[in-house]
Amino acid sequence: MKKLLRWFFLLILLLASAALIVFVLENQQSVKIGFFGFSSGEAPASLCLVIALLVGMAIGPVVSFMFKYARNHDVRKI
């Protein structure tokens, strides 16, 4: 059973990798991002979206940890 599960996860990983490669290859047009008055240089749309995804994946657990910490400890509001 473990061997079958290992092959299943490998298949999922390969499919996700293939989807990412197709996404990057299909989104090569250059875009310029503006945010709060700051503007980026020209970069491929796929790069901007992947960076936004990675930043969101990094910020999400940090915010979740902060809320759990505040709930479990006596944090007084200022």
Distance between CA atoms of 24 and 48, rounded to whole angstroms?
Answer: 10
What's phi and psi for 39, nearest 5 deg?
Answer: -130, 140
Distance between CA atoms of 19 and 11, rounded to whole angstroms?
Answer: 12
Whole-number average pLDDT of the chain? 84
pLDDT of residue 26: 83
CB-CB contact of 29 with 48 (8 Å): no
pLDDT band per the 50, 70, 90 thresholds, residue 70 = confident
Token pair 């969101």 is at which residue? 56
- pTM of the entire predicted model: 0.57
CB-CB contact of 42 with 31 (8 Å): yes
Residue ranges covered by each domain of the chain: 2-72
